[in-house]
Amino acid sequence: MLQVHFIRENKATVLEGLAKRNFADAETIIEQVLTADENRRATQVELDNTLAESNKISKEIGNLYKTGKAQEANVLKEKTGQLKESSKELSEKLTVYADELQALLYQIPNIPHASVKAGASEEDNENIFSEGIIPDLGDNALPHWELAKKYDIIDFELGTKISGAGFPVYKGKGARLQRALINYFLDKNTAAGYTEVQVPHLVNTASATATGQLPDKDGQMYHSTIDDLYLIPTAEVPITNIFRGDLVQESDFPITLTGYTPCFRREAGSYGAHVRGLNRLHQFDKVEIVRIEHPENSYKALDGMVEHIKNILRELKLPYRILRLCGGDTGFTSALTFDFELFSTAQNRWLEISSASNFETFQANRLKLRFKNAAGKSELAHTLNGSSLALPRVLAGILENYQTADGIKIPDVLVPYCGFDYIK
């Protein structure tokens, strides 16, 4: 959430950033924010003055009673009664203005970083890096959903029977490969200095709001209405909320965490080949990395996250590219996002497998996550997160790019985790 004083002092910059995102009615909502803030501040001043006057008169009443001037004291008591009623009305009015301002601020996305270009959709994203060799599989290459059926390692029909479309069942070596990837990702992350945590898979409304899923993605998450809990769309939500309401020390930076969780998303998308198999699911596994950083170091930390993910993909020997997302494709809470895409040779298309984002103070403002700076003053920290990695499309890429006439070869780095080197 943007800070209202930042909007007030940098109106032109905010409008320019929102224009990059093609944010509709930006000028209207910014004016509404400024009006609501002006009303809130004016009401706060009026309330403070009323309370101060009431306190002053109360002291006068006490002195009058002490000196035997009861009649004068009773006259002033009537006035304090009026002031108390005014204070109550002003307090209620202040609450209305504060709630109105909060609701408006929740509608405004983060301001993109200066390096982010304007754009309407993924078609306008910038390809900034690519690496790896795309294998020549010939004309007989199979997409991963056919390979999964051929080798009996993932059963999509059984998942549909149990739960519905978008809930695959991993079997035999497919399940072991899935588990191997999880352990490999976690080992890579912990070796890089991230502390592993196991977190709840359901969160409350406060947690979903703090990281920006609510109200922006209301309706896209699975919601247990009886308990008012949400199934997490990513481990970013519970891991980042570990620090909700905290005041950390400058010496604590960097704070680096990693965790594996299943992820749940209601928006499985449209029909067609581009969402077949593992391409888009309602439930999938993901290993996440989260960083809490000093504002002066957050973009250096983001570059480090990108290099870390690169190293994993190099070890897996998978062809990939990195995109810097344009304003129109950048997520609601992010200031800058790099997407990693894996080339699916059998499908002849790029599949998103990871993103690394810097949210700057946007999440921290909602989280009330602050630190004490060198001057002893508290300021908002920066939060970052990245997928390291999302499993379904990595698994799809391995199945498709490593298929041979003899079966599916397991990447060398995963063999110690799997205990086998081929799926035959």
Indicate if the pLDDT at residue 58 is higher than 90: no
- Answer yes or no: is pLDDT of 22 > 70: yes
Q: Which residue has the tokens 């596994």?
A: 285
Domain chopping of the chain, boundaries: 4-106, 122-423
What pLDDT, in 10s, does the model give residues 193-235?
999 999 999 999 999 999 999 998 888 999 999 999 999 999 9
129 has pLDDT over 70: yes
Annotated binding residues: 234, 265-267, 288, 352-355, 385
Known binding residues for ATP are 265-267, 352-355
Name the CATH superfamily, with its identifier, for domain 122-423: Bira Bifunctional Protein; Domain 2 (3.30.930.10)
Which fold does the domain 4-106 belong to in CATH?
A: Helix Hairpins (1.10.287)
- Average pLDDT of 240-259? 97
Provide the annotated binding site for L-serine: 234, 265, 288, 385
Of the candidate ranges 52-56, 170-174, 335-339, the one whose mean pLDDT is the lowest: 52-56
